[in-house]
């Protein structure tokens, strides 16, 4: 199968789905990583503060691209030779919320989605384009736990395109592990999403040794997180037996066993 994973920012898919994506690739599926808001000034654990403000966006955006490329290389290293080209990355080069919506970085989780945001239509067109190119047998998008406006904007854009498609929602990390609203968000979102795309079931993608492997993968995003955050995200996988939980629609569940996509949460 060809799986399209939509990542609001460069690190979101790696933080939330690095175990799942590795599993899918080892099962001989193809994964396209669609990065949406890739133009950013946000790099709290980097030397970006020493860069002139006029150059900060280009400097940080280039840094984060290198981190993403490093992630893809590390994932590919674990694959047999014939599968190394089964993962690819597509960037939309849209500006993230602090730039696009002019909201402070500490308010991105307190900002509502703007229905008139031009980014919504651009994301939809990008997903449709991938489907027309034959790169989308299944679609994976964020749940929006933590209420990050960029994550919610991606979810809003994707929802109309999920009918009749095998789709799953991933639990946004690090928000799912430590944000105060995560548990309440999960209950609310499951109800809303079920009304939009049908009944959702919890499924898990797990593997032996995945907790430590995930820690190595997420710590590659050194401009975004420190060692403590990397530990929090990797240890979060321990609650799912060394894996990651997704919320899948009936079409995904029907295809999951035969295609080694996931297993039902026990």
Q: What is the pLDDT of residue 197?
A: 83
Predicted local confidence at residue 196, as pLDDT: 76
Q: How confident is the model at residue 184 (pLDDT cuts 50, 70, 90)?
A: confident
Q: Which domains does the chain have, with CATH numbers?
A: 2-264 (3.40.50.10320)
> Are 242 and 211 a contacting pair, CB within 8 Å?
yes
Mean pLDDT, to the nearest integer, of 13-28? 97
Q: Where does the pLDDT of residue 46 fall: very low under 50, low under 70, confident under 90, or very high at 90 and above?
A: very high
- Spatial contact of 138 and 4, defined as CB atoms under 8 Å apart: yes
| Per-residue pLDDT, 5 | 98
Instruction: Give percent of the chain above pLDDT 90.
Output: 89
pLDDT at 90 over 90: yes
**Total number of residues shown for the chain:** 266
Q: What is the pLDDT of residues 108-118, one digit of tens each?
A: 999 999 999 99
Structure confidence at residue 235 as a pLDDT band (50, 70, 90): very high
Report residue 191's pLDDT band, with 50, 70 and 90 as the boundaries.
confident
Q: How far is CA 244 from CA 19, 45, 207, in A?
A: 7, 26, 10
The stretch 177-201 carries a mean pLDDT of 84
Among residues of the chain, what percentage have pLDDT more than 70? 100
- Strand ranges across the sheet with 263-264: 87-91, 30-35, 2-7, 138-142, 166-170, 243-248, 201-206, 263-264
pTM of the shown model: 0.96
User: Average pLDDT of the chain?
Assistant: 95
What average pLDDT score do residues 158-178 get?
94
Nearest by Cα to 30 from 65, 3, 58 = 3
């Amino acid at each position: 199968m060809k799986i399209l994973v939509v990542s609001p920012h460069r690190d979101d898919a790696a933080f939330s789905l690095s175990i799942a994506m590795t599993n899918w690739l080892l099962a001989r599926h193809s994964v396209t990583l669609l990065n949406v808001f890739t133009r950013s000034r946000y790099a709290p654990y980097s030397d970006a503060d020493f860069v002139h403000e006029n150059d900060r966006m280009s400097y940080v955006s280039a840094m984060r691209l290198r981190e993403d490329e490093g992630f893809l290389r590390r994932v590919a290293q674990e694959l047999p030779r014939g599968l190394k080209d089964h993962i690819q990355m597509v960037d939309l080069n849209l500006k993230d919320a602090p730039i696009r919506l002019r909201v402070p970085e500490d308010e991105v989780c307190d900002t509502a989605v703007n229905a008139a945001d031009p980014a919504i239509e651009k994301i939809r067109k990008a997903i449709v384009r991938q489907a027309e190119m034959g790169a989308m047998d299944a679609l994976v998008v964020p749940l929006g736990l933590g209420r990050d406006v960029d994550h919610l904007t991606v979810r809003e854009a994707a929802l109309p395109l999920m009918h009749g498609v095998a789709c799953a929602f991933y639990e946004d990390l690090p928000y799912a592990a430590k944000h105060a609203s995560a548990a309440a968000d999960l209950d609310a979102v499951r109800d809303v999403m079920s009304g939009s795309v049908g009944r959702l079931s919890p499924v898990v993608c797990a593997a032996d040794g995945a907790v430590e492997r995930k820690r190595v993968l997420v710590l590659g995003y050194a401009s975004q997180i420190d060692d403590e955050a990397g530990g929090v995200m990797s240890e979060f996988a321990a609650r799912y037996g060394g894996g990651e939980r997704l919320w899948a629609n009936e079409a995904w569940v029907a295809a999951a066993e035969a295609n080694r996509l996931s297993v039902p949460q026990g």
